Structure formats: C-alpha cells, structure tokens
Chains A and B, each alone.
Chain A
Amino acid sequence: MRRNAWRVLRPLLSRLGQAGLVALLVGCIGFALMHALPGDQAFRLAAERYGPDMVDARAAAAMRAELGLDRPLAVQLLEWLGRVLRLDLGRSLVTGEPVIEELRVQIGYTALLAGTALPLSALIGLPLGIVAGLWRGRWPDHAVLGLSVLLRAVPAYALGLALMVLLSVRLRWLPPGGFEGWAELVLPSLTLALGLAAVSSRVARESVAAVAASPVLVFARWKGLSERDAVRRHGLRNAAIPVLAVLGLQLIGLVEGILIVETLFGWPGIGHALVHAIFARDVPLVQGSALIMGLGVVLLNAAVDFACLLIDPRRGRQEA
C-alpha cells in the first residue's frame, strides 16, 4: 500500500518541483527585465501598483520609501520572487489593470484553441501513424514519413498562411482571422493540429511497428488467441504507452505552436498577449503570461503522468 502511495506521490512531487523552477526562472527574468527598463524604477512600480493615471512624484517617492528601492538588489529580488510565488503578478504598465484580470479571459481562448487542436491532431496523426506502422517498409509507410518530414520543415506561420490563401482567399470557405464565431476556430486549430500531427504520426508509427514485431504479440498468437483478441488484449495498450508518454513532449510543441498561431491569426489568447506585451515592454504582463503558460505545461504534464500510471503498471514499480 505504501509503495502504491509513493508511486503516485513521486511524480507529483517532481512536477511540483518543476513548477517551482518555472516560477523561479520566470520571476528572475521578470525582475531583471524590470531593472533593464529605461527610466525611474519607482515611477514604474507605482504605475504597476496603482495604475498609470494615479502616479506622480509623491506616489513615486512613497513607493521608493515603502519598497526600499535603495536596499540591496538581492533583498529586492527575494521580495519580488515572494510575490511571484504567491501569484501576485502586479498590474499591467499599459492599462493599469491587474495582470491576473487581463489574462483571465485570454486563458479561456487559449484553452479553447488547444482543446480543439489536440484532439484534431490525434484524429489526423494517429490513424496515419498506425497505418504506416502496420504497413511498415511499404509505400504507406514511406508516404506518411515523407509527409511528416515535409510538414516538420515548413514553418507554422507559412502553413497557416498557405491554408489561409487556399481556404479563405481562393475558395472563400472561411474568414481569414479575428474571432467572431466558430468558423474562425478552424484555420488556427487546423494549422496547429497539422504541426502536431507531423510528430505524433511518427511516434504512433514507431510504437505500432515495435508492438507488431514484439514477442508479446507473437506469444499471444501462439497461446491460441485469435488475431482480434491478440491485438485487442495485448497490442493496443502496449502500443498506447509510448504514444501517451510522448504526449508530454508534444505539449511543449503545443505551447510554441500557440504563440505563433495566435499571433498570426490574431486569436485573442495568452500567446498573443505575450507577444504584444513584449512589443509594449509591459514587463508584468510578459512575466505573468509566461508564468501562466509555463505552469500550464507543468499541469498538463502532471495529467499525462497520471494517465501513464494508469495504463502502465511498470511506472514507478520497476525496482520492485
């Protein structure tokens, strides 16, 4: 029993540690960014706290005294990190709104995009990978490999533009950008899904090919099981394990794709917000959106860990 508890607790603790590292790294960079900005530190921090309209020399002076900006940098850094760890992200330097409020809506849009693109990529990538794996070494395998290599070489923005030219400019099936209705979701999520499918089809192919040739499946047939029973009972789960494990790595690709695709299509999500904040040098917003995206990846990875624990009994038991 205790061993089983540890089996669940261990990946959880390691993901918690990873979340801490994300906060630490993003916080440190955020702090350095704040200090690298031109102009008076106290003015900016006052603006960050009370909104840009409320700032004058008096407020800045009060700020300087209160925060002790004349104290050693190390002390200021610790205080800054403390606030980041409490998810107190400050206010936007541009709008004066709390960063959390700014991001709340955008997180929803990003979740919608990611939530559409991931299943779509599975729908495209997995069947292609399975077909390639079953016909390994023959033409469907080569065709899927070629497609995947090509897709991985084309930049995501170019893929998006090509789809845009094709589907909205030439065929006029879809509106080109913005967010007014469901139709606008198609282009960005398709662009994102194709990029992800280029990778997941390969993983599925390798995994299916490995299981198809594995002694486990051969022995299942030798036992006397029918082909259907052999595949259903001994093929599927064993083939799914590596695919699921690699999903965690795919999430990194998902974040990178989101940054590009949201900016390209003007999708009002968190990646779009981050890129614009970098333009506007709105440090609290840069820090906040990077932190939320980083923590999002850690959270999803933790979910993948648990899914792996459920289907793969070897996880966390290897030394037993």
Chain B
Amino acid sequence: MSGHVQLRGLTVRAADGTPLVENLSLAARPGTPLVLLGETGSGKSLVLQAIMGALPPRLRRTGEVVLDGQPLPEGRARRGLWGRRIALLPQEPWLALDPTMRALAQVAEVCRLVRGMPPPASRAEAERLLRDLGLEGVARLYPFQLSGGMAQRLALAVLRAADAPLLLADEPTKGLDAERRDEAALRLRDEAGRGRTVIAVTHDIGVARILGGHLAVMLEGQVVEQGPAERLLARPAQDYTRRLVAAEPAQWPMPSAAPRRPAGEAVVAARRLGKRFQGRAVLEDVDIAVGRGETVAVLGPSGCGKTTLGDLLLGLLRPSQGEVRRLAGLAPWRFQKLYQDPPSAFAPHQSMREALRHLGRRHGLAPAVFGGLLDRLRLPPALLDRRPAELSGGELQRFALLRALALDPVFLFADEPTSRLDPITQREVALLLRELVTERDLGLLLVTHDAALARRMADRVFTIEAARLSPAGCAG
C-alpha cells in the first residue's frame, strides 16, 4: 500500500474563466495528514473534488494530480479508482448513508461487490470492520437511528472495507458538537497512523491543530502559507494566518484585570428552578442570578438545557417548578435575547431600515438613537437598505445587538451568539459584546459550548450536567 500524492499546478476555473483554485502545488504522503485550512469559499473543497475527478461539469481543471508517480487518468477511467485507490469521506455522512439499509449491509456490500468476496466472508469481514470502530452494537440499525458521530464512524468503516491507500475527508467535523469534533479529528489522525495518506479540508483551526501533519492555509483559491502544522500555528508568518490564529478564543486577550466593579443589583434571579418536557427533567433545582454589568456564562453540550434556562429567565417558557424574579418596575422589552442563527432572527422580507423604523415607531424612539448605535457598532448606514439574506452573519448579529440596545436593556440572553460566524468575525462580535456589557451596565447571560470562549467572556462560568447547574472548575 503506497499512496504518494502530488498536485502540480492544479487550477480550477468557473465557466467564465474566474479562477476558483489557482496554481496549487502540494504533496501528501502516507502517515502525515495534509490539512487544507480556510474559510467558506476559499476553494478548499474543490481541491478534493478535483483529486476525485468529481468536479461539477461546468468547472474547468488544469494541472496534474499524480498518484504514486502516475498522473491520474481522466473521466471514466478515474471512476475505476474510486473506493479501490481513492476514498472520500463525505461531509455530513448521515445524509450520504442509505437510509433504507442496515449498517452491516452497507459495509458488507463493499466487500462483496468491490473486493469480490463471497457473501459469508463479506459479512464476517464487515463485522470485523464495525468492531474495530466500536460499532458492533449497531450492525442491525439503520443510519437514521445513529448519532452523528456513529454515522461518521460507519461511513469510515464503509471506506475501510475497500481499503484505499488515499483517504480524502471533506469538512469531517461539520455538524458535530465540540466533543464529537475532537473524536472525529483524532480518528482521522489514526487513519494516517495506519499508513494511509489522509488529505482533510476544514475551516476549524482546532481540528487542524489535532490533525497535525502538514498544514496549508487557503484564501481565495490560493495557498497563502504552508508548513508543518505545529510550527505554522505557533509562529505564523503571513498576516492572514496570524489573524486566523488570533481568532481562536484561547488566544483572545483576557478581560482587563483592572479592578472590576462588583456586580450591581441582580436584574434576573431564579430559585429552585425546574423544567420538564414530556416527563423528562431538563433542568432541576437551578439557582442563578445575573447582576448589572456582569457576564455569566453557561457551558454545556448541545441538548443539555442551556437554551431552556435562558428562555425561562426571559419568561419565554413557564417553569415547572421554582420561580424567576426580574428587576421590578421595568418594561418587559428591557430584557432581550440574541439568537444563534442570525438570519432566522429577522423577518426575511424586511430591510433593516424598515425593521428599525417599525421599532422606532412602536417605542417612540428618535432616529438619532439608531444613528449613534450604528456608529458604535461600526455598521455602515449603506447596509440599512439590505434584507437579511443580503447581509453576512456578523453584520446581522450586530443589527440584532443594535435593535436590542435601542430599547436600553438591563438584561441580555445571548444564545451561542457567535457559533455560526467565521472565526475572525466571531472574535470581533464577541469582543464587542464584552465591551458593551461594561459600557451599558448590562447583565449578560452567555450560553455556549466553547469553554475557552466562556473563560474569555464571563465573570462567572457554570456548567449544566444531568439537568443540574454547577460552577465550572478552573480547567478549560
């Protein structure tokens, strides 16, 4: 089993000639993963499709892909290599597995139809492959009955069945939560450790860090910098790479150590709060208070009830037990929320100007209020005439902040406010939020799955485990 790959002057052009990937020359060898790191639209997935020979039909490719000293054949002949010499781990494998076929059969059919093993031997081999990946318990289940992490292991088992020396992975951690993400990255590093050549594409610098090997940073179709991952991430030479590395929450500046004011009066407080959904306890016996000018972070994996806690504090949900007390004598709209998915928090057909005009009319706000906030949030007024679909996630999140701040809030519940943003934008929006808490004397409840981000943002950090809230330890 070999699997030395060389890309020589690989270029992919759109139908009108615009280069999407430009003059790429890279090499990958067994044992050392090659990682392409870049934001959406940097052309990194096209590189994998070009190696596979599965580019969309209107795109043009020039340059060579060389596998073990031989240029790969074009067109139909390349298809003969699929599975046997080149394997591609799909993005979001739970969509790529056949929903009508049991796990074992999906692996066994590769042994039988691709490697030509007789049926009983294929089954035995498939069982062995599932066992190797810790999937022996799910052989008779269907893909929709598997978790995201298990579906990815199953897809890997399917690809291992044909035993190709070259494994390509397209965003292998898309759609997985933080813990599963690290597992998936480690598993891919294992594949390289078994002597395969692994080429992975990701937008997540944390994944690149775990995979190690050789790292190439891509921007607008070109490699801006490449080298051994460890060195490159520790001492980036190019400005873009530097900004990318600095955007990791662990690299953010800590909140100013200068004497912070003690937290003001509690704006929201809950005692012995509990919530059940259909008999299942999501939260039990939660005591929490958020004071003016402080940030409280709640940490936990997806589905642990952290959004429910915020919604209870805002009064969007009614508690099953216990009580929530909000600062007396304030209008209900001085308690606000920021959403995880910025586009869904705006009416799709309203321009920002229209939405803000309605808000101003409802609350009798002077136009100057919005003008001042636009400046403060560094939003160019030209964006006002756009609709949500025409704005980026970062811009929308700042408009969401703007409309909340216009109502002079005392409490803000931010539900994973930066998790859908590109890393560099994430840093900008999060640090802006941190400044505003002090500036406007806000109580901020921040819900996140990112421990490092929570540390950089919050005065106090809690975790939710088994429906109960507890102060987080110092790790993370």
Question: Which positions in A face B, CB cutoff 8 Å?
Answer: 214-216, 218-226, 229, 233-234, 237-238, 241, 311-314, 317-318, 320
Q: Are B109 and A225 in contact (CB under 8 A)?
A: yes
**Interface residue? B79 (CB, 8 A):** yes
User: With A and B bound together, what is the CA distance between A219 and B113 in angstroms?
Assistant: 15
**Interface residue? B126 (CB, 8 A):** no
Nearest CB of B to A222, in Å: 5
Partner of B87, one of A222, A233, A320: A222
Chain B residues, Cβ within 8 Å of A215: 90, 92, 95-96
Partner of A216, one of B99, B110, B113, B114: B99
User: With A and B bound together, what is the CA distance between A318 and B142 in angstroms?
Assistant: 10
Q: Are A221 and B82 in contact (CB under 8 A)?
A: yes
Chain B residues, Cβ within 8 Å of A314: 99-100, 142, 144
Nearest CB of A to B280, in Å: 13
Chain A residues, Cβ within 8 Å of B87: 222-223
Chain B residues, Cβ within 8 Å of A317: 142, 144-145
Contact with A along B335-378 (1 / 0, CB 8 A): 00000000000000000000000000000000000000000000
Interface residues of A, dominant DSSP: helix
Q: A214-B95, A234-B98, A311-B100 are in contact. List 14 more A-B contacts (CB 8 A).
A: A215-B96, A216-B97, A216-B98, A219-B96, A222-B82, A222-B83, A223-B158, A224-B84, A224-B113, A225-B113, A229-B109, A234-B101, A238-B98, A313-B142
Partner of B95, one of A216, A311, A312: A216
On whether A219 and B110 interact (CB within 8 A), knowing A224-B83, A224-B84, the answer reads no
**Interface residue? B52 (CB, 8 A):** yes
**Interface residue? B216 (CB, 8 A):** no
**Interface residue? B402 (CB, 8 A):** no
CB nearest to A237 among chain B residues: B100
**Interface residue? B162 (CB, 8 A):** yes
Nearest CB of A to B77, in Å: 14
Interface size class of B (residues with CB under 8 A): 20 to 34
Q: Are A222 and B100 in contact (CB under 8 A)?
A: no
Among all A-B residue pairs, the 4 with the closest Cβ atoms: A224-B83, A219-B96, A224-B114, A215-B96
Chain A residues, Cβ within 8 Å of B109: 225, 229, 233
Partner of B114, one of A225, A233, A238, A320: A225
User: With A and B bound together, what is the CA distance between A218 and B97 in angstroms?
Assistant: 10
Q: Are A318 and B144 in contact (CB under 8 A)?
A: yes
Chain B residues, Cβ within 8 Å of A226: 113
Chain A residues, Cβ within 8 Å of B82: 221-224
Chain A residues, Cβ within 8 Å of B158: 223
User: With A and B bound together, what is the CA distance between A8 and B54 in angstroms?
Assistant: 42
Partner of A222, one of B88, B92, B98, B99: B88
A-B contact pairs, 11 of them (CB 8 A): A222-B90, A223-B110, A224-B82, A224-B110, A224-B114, A224-B162, A225-B83, A225-B109, A229-B109, A229-B113, A238-B98
Q: Are B90 and A219 in contact (CB under 8 A)?
A: yes
User: With A and B bound together, what is the CA distance between A216 and B100 in angstroms?
Assistant: 10
**Interface residue? B159 (CB, 8 A):** yes
Nearest CB of A to B90, in Å: 5
Most interface-central of A215, A222, A234 (chain B CB within 10 A):
A222
Nearest CB of B to A185, in Å: 37
Chain A residues, Cβ within 8 Å of B159: 223
Partner of B52, one of A214, A216, A222, A311: A222
Q: Which of B70-106 contact A (CB under 8 A)?
A: 79, 82-84, 87-88, 90, 92-93, 95-101
Chain B residues, Cβ within 8 Å of A229: 109, 113
Nearest CB of B to A243, in Å: 14
CB nearest to A221 among chain B residues: B82
Partner of A218, one of B90, B92, B100: B90
CB nearest to B91 among chain A residues: A215
CB nearest to A241 among chain B residues: B100
